[in-house]
């Protein structure tokens, strides 16, 4: 599933095609994805201007001139692809309709934004902009890891007394928004913390080191366009490149990159997910 860097990369790729522009035509090609589409979605979107395009956790939110906000979740395999407009140095013509192109937005200026989702675990919904934070998918999400509300004191307070493994705690979207399996593995390796350690038994001084590391890893991943492992693509169809900078994720059996460590990356399963770490230098 795309994590915060991938979703932020897609949002940035959509900005020149969508923000400030009118949605001139909408084609909805099925009744639902993971959930049913909202009533009259095509009608409610047609003619609306996108006044802002923002991200909350792993969701893209398009605020509209109608007072509504379009929520988009990419799910496991969803893509928001732009065609018919110049992105960087490239001009992308409209491709022929594909089997899994479920929603098509024709934008003012000639751009087309297509939501493609082979597995159909993605979602779209419409809600009142002034009550967006109360939407059932958003209301319980924790602070953004790149925002001011997320700091060492907050994280130490939320981890205090928790007996779950620290990796599971950091994946809890109620504690912090947008972190997923890849980036938590990478952060814990840089911090030298064993992902199996009980979250409440990590010293506050070590917890405090996690915050700048989380921000650094996320910033590096966004700069690299996210990580492309299976289905993820940027809005222009290009791959992300952060997977080439992984230190431990998907590196089972390879030498640990920590200077002087001499260990090898191991893989274990936690809560049904693969965890990659170095048993020698992560404690």
Per-residue pLDDT 10s for the chain (283 aa) are 678 988 998 999 899 999 999 999 999 999 999 999 999 999 999 999 999 999 999 999 999 999 999 999 998 888 888 888 655 554 556 777 778 999 999 999 899 999 999 889 999 999 999 999 999 999 999 999 999 999 999 999 999 999 999 999 999 999 999 999 999 999 999 999 999 999 999 999 999 999 999 999 999 888 887 764 454 445 555 545 466 778 999 999 999 999 999 999 999 999 899 999 999 999 9
Q: Are residues 168 and 74 in the same domain?
A: no
- Domain holding 180, by residue range, is 152-277
Q: Are residues 213 and 252 in the same domain?
A: yes
Given the residues 56, 58, 233, 247, the one annotated as active site: 58
Give the CB-side neighbour count of residue 161, counting CA atoms within 13 A: 2
3 is an active site residue: yes
- For the domain that residue 184 is a member of, what is the CATH number? 1.10.8.50
So what's the pLDDT on residue 1? 67
Residue among 141, 198, 145 nearest 167 (CA): 198
Q: Are residues 188 and 69 in the same domain?
A: no
Q: Are residues 94 and 156 in the same domain?
A: no
Report the number of distinct structural domains present in the chain: 2
Domain boundary among 134, 165, 200: 134
Given the residues 120, 273, 279, 280, the one annotated as active site: 273
- Is 89 a member of any domain? yes
Given the residues 2, 143, 145, 195, the one annotated as active site: 2
Q: Are residues 125 and 195 in the same domain?
A: no
So what's the pLDDT on residue 85? 63
Contact 192, 281 (CB under 8 A): yes
- Is 64 a member of any domain? yes
Q: Are residues 50 and 108 in the same domain?
A: yes
Given the residues 3, 6, 68, 186, the one annotated as active site: 3
Q: Are residues 107 and 195 in the same domain?
A: no
**Sign of the alpha-carbon torsion through 59, 12, 220, 74:** positive
Q: Are residues 258 and 206 in the same domain?
A: yes
55 is an active site residue: no
The model carries a pTM of: 0.89
38 is an active site residue: no
So what's the pLDDT on residue 54? 97
Contact 166, 188 (CB under 8 A): yes
Contact 141, 173 (CB under 8 A): yes
Give the CB-side neighbour count of residue 94, counting CA atoms within 13 A: 12
Cα–Cα distances (Å) from 36 to 45, 102, 137, 155, in that order, read 16, 12, 14, 36
197 is an active site residue: no
So what's the pLDDT on residue 223? 84
- Is 20 a member of any domain? yes
- Is 58 a member of any domain? yes
Residue among 207, 164, 205, 204 nearest 188 (CA): 207
Q: Are residues 18 and 125 in the same domain?
A: yes
- Is 143 a member of any domain? no
């Amino acid at each position: 599933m795309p994590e915060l860097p991938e979703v932020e990369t897609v949002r940035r790729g959509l900005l020149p095609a969508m923000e400030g522009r009118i949605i001139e035509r909408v084609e909805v090609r099925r009744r639902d994805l993971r959930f049913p589409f909202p009533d009259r979605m095509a009608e409610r979107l047609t003619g609306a201007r996108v006044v802002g395009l923002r991200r909350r956790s792993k969701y893209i939110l398009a605020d509209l001139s109608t007072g509504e906000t379009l929520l988009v979740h990419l799910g496991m395999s969803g893509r928001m692809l732009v065609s018919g407009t110049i992105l960087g140095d490239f001009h992308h013509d409209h491709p022929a309709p594909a089997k899994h192109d479920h929603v098509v937005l024709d934008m003012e200026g000639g751009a087309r934004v297509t939501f493609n989702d082979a597995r159909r675990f993605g979602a779209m919904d419409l809600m009142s902009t002034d009550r967006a934070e109360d939407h059932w998918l958003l209301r319980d999400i924790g602070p953004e890891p790149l925002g001011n509300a997320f700091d060492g004191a907050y994280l130490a307070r939320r981890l205090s007394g928790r007996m779950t493994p620290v990796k599971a705690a950091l994946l809890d979207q109620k504690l912090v928004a947008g972190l997923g399996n890849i980036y938590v593995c990478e952060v814990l390796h840089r911090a030298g913390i064993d992902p199996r350690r009980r979250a409440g038994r990590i010293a506050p001084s070590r917890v405090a080191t996690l915050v700048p590391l989380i921000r650094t890893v996320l910033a590096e991943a966004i700069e690299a366009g996210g990580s492309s492992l299976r289905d993820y693509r940027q809005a222009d169809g290009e791959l992300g490149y952060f997977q080439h900078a992984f230190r431990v994720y998907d590196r089972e059996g390879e030498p640990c990159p920590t200077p002087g460590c001499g260990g090898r990356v191991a893989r274990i399963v936690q809560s049904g997910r693969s965890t990659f770490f170095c048993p020698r230098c992560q404690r």
